[in-house]
Chain A
Amino acid sequence: MITAHFFDGHDARLQPVGLDVRNDHLHVDAPGFARSYPLTDVALAEPFEQAPLVLRLGDATCEVPYGPGRQALLAALGYRKSAVERWQARWPAALAALVLLLALLGAGFVWGVPAAAGFIAARLPASVDIKLGRAALAGLEAQGMLAPSRLSDDRIADVEALLPRALPAHPRVPVRLLVRSSDALGANALALPDGTIIVTDKMVRLALDKRNELDDIGQAELLGVIGHEVGHIERRHATRAMTGSSLTAALSATLFGDFSAVAAGLPAVLTQMQYSRAMELEADDYAIDVLRRNGREPDDLADILEALERQHPGEGDVPRWLRRSMAYLSTHPDTAERIERLYKAGP
């Protein structure tokens, strides 16, 4: 006989009762009344260490206060722990859950988010790209980062003439090339999601020879740069990177948001860097194809990357997402690796 508190579910009266399990029935006995329930009708709520046991008997409820009779009652009721209850009952298992959780989060951010971002980005309509691209260009212009080119019209025409040679037979989106002067961006080239490529004056000057002419080598160098940007556009890198980072941000906020903004921001930055590295290499591969198609070698792109590396232009004013996902700058941590890779791909 185990003492318990009985509530009939119709009023709030607490009735002290005795519980007994006999012949597959739970017997509830009190001076005033006696009831019996088949064990199949007795629902035992998940027991916690020190909380009263809760037995649900249809409308009625029985609470068994924490005490010595508890284990005997659980055994008599034929209680078996569920998998989750067994898991959370023991410390080693709980700590294993912690390790698993960290592994799962790591895998999710390293592989899951890029895969999901690729999946989502592939299903975003092209109108999203156009909107993003226009907004990015308007943003750059509003911040005074782009000004009309100071190069001669002939020179601009020379550069623009390179674009068709870098394009595939059937481009994914119409691509246009703008030559612009920019102090903030330095020697640089950007690919906006809508298919706009921006090449800065300084980048063009970097490709000029000693007599300030755009010779074959200079043309090939710029072709490599433009090819790299076309690669970004063809592979839709900007949209993918932005989908990925907003996905990461949303996930981080869901998981960690309520206790630490710092923890929430970190994974987003980490994955974004990972993205851009993989994407830069992909765009380089595309540029190598473009150069080969035009009878040149990847060395030409490597040469201008090296020239960039020596330049150290200011990059402080470039918005972070733009810098990471679209620009390749001399201070990019992977530039040395990329140059080496391009030389290796050479003849």
Chain B
Amino acid sequence: MHLPDDGPFDEQTSHGLSFSGSGAEYFRIWIVNLLLTVATLGIYSAWAKTRRLQYFYRNTQLAGASFDFRGDPKAILRGRILAVTLLATYHYAFGFSLKVGVVTVALLLAGLPFMMRSALRFRLSNTVYRGLPFGFAGGIKEAYIVYVVPVAIFVLPGALVALMPGSPLVGIIFLLYLCWPLMHGAMKAYQHKHLMAGDQNATFTLDTASLAKPYVRAFLIGLGLMVVVGLAFGLSVFLARGQKSTAAFAAFLPAILAVVAMYLYVLLMGPYILVRMNNLAWSATSFPGVRITCAMRVWPYLRLQTVNVLLTLLTFGLFRPFAAVRTWKYRVAHITIDAPDGFEQAVLAARRPPAAAAGDGIADFLGVDLSW
């Protein structure tokens, strides 16, 4: 009889997540999925997505039980068709006429927040653990409050350019991006606050501002870097003065290094913010009797993603499935579930909730981060 080390029978209070899949196995699933998706002009992608999620979920285990995805591929396909139609309409609407364009943008503004919420509901209510589905209990009103500004940033610039070309108002829309940290924080808070496991509501202890903190820190690091870059440029100018042309190159080395540093900063801040926000959000999420701790670390994660990107480029994309497995393993390995009164005891409180709704494709197509 095979029993995992963190089996369910001892009253262990702390559990880690484990992953039993491999890059090699997933590569074969991925390539067949990709071929069938291309051969069917994208229709198979809904089934491919289901198989991908099932592969990752079923190979992920916690306290003797695995996760599972039970979404209906046909529902995903419907969502994707809707998403493609909306995006195509948005893309070409202003080419047809101003009226069509304005109507499309209005529809997107009104529809997208609703669809974001539907996507969360679909994904979570089809994720199953120990025979019970997760769920999402976020309200429609709150979905609009949280999503309407980010959606506006996404759809309005195109509309404004078409409506009043050359107007300075177009630039003002981009100023809204300055509020992005708060928007991102609000979205994360919304996503976590209303999580459900069975009929158990999650407790979420953070507010939007605290969730946006990684952005503030990234911004401060950036400011520090700017000072260093400024000094480096100053040094370059100082050294270059009175030099002949060939020696001037050496003098400009600090400036070149400074530019490289700025590039690296921009590249590295994405993963940094992702890691920090994930840690904050998940560690602040708990269910009755069950605490979650997410302790991903910035540098190892950066190293992992750098290798992933480099190898993916070098192999013309063939490394992608391996990269996906590596990333998933890393994330899973850094989550701990604590249940002081025993895990089995804690989960006994959960019951099957009443049935839930559907609608996943749009958020997936738009690249909204719904993964955990």
Contacts and interface: CB of A to CB of B under 8 A. Distances in A.
A5 B246 CA distance: 74
Nearest to A52: B66
Interface residues of B, number: 53
A345 interface: no
Contacts, number: 139
Interface in A164-211: none
A97 B31 contact: yes
Interface in A235-278: 254-256, 258-260, 263
Given A46-B51, A101-B35, A104-B38, A14 B352 contact: no
Interface string A61-101: 10101111000000000000000100111110011011011
Given A50-B59, A263-B317, A14 B32 contact: no
Given A12-B131, A101-B34, A88 B317 contact: no
B239 to A, nearest CB: 36
Contact of B348 (A3, A7, A12): A12
B49 to A, nearest CB: 14
Nearest to A116: B41
- Dominant secondary structure of chain B at its interface with chain A: mixed
- Dominant secondary structure of chain A at its interface with chain B: mixed
A2 to B, nearest CB: 9
A9 B2 contact: no
User: A interface, how many residues as a size bin?
Assistant: 35 or more
A11 interface: yes
Interface stretch (B18-26, B103-111, B181-189, B214-222): B18-26
A46 B131 contact: no
B362 to A, nearest CB: 15
B28 A63 contact: no
A37 interface: no
Nearest to A65: B2
Contacts of A256: 317
Given A45-B68, A48-B58, A65-B2, A104 B35 contact: yes
Given A14-B130, A84-B32, A255-B38, 16 more contacts: A7-B132, A10-B352, A48-B58, A49-B21, A54-B68, A60-B131, A65-B64, A66-B20, A67-B1, A88-B29, A91-B28, A95-B31, A101-B35, A104-B38, A131-B95, A254-B42
Interface of B: 1-4, 8-9, 20-22, 25, 27-29, 31-32, 34-36, 38-39, 42, 51, 54-55, 58-59, 61, 63-66, 68, 95, 128-132, 197-198, 312-313, 316-318, 320, 344, 347-348, 350-352, 367
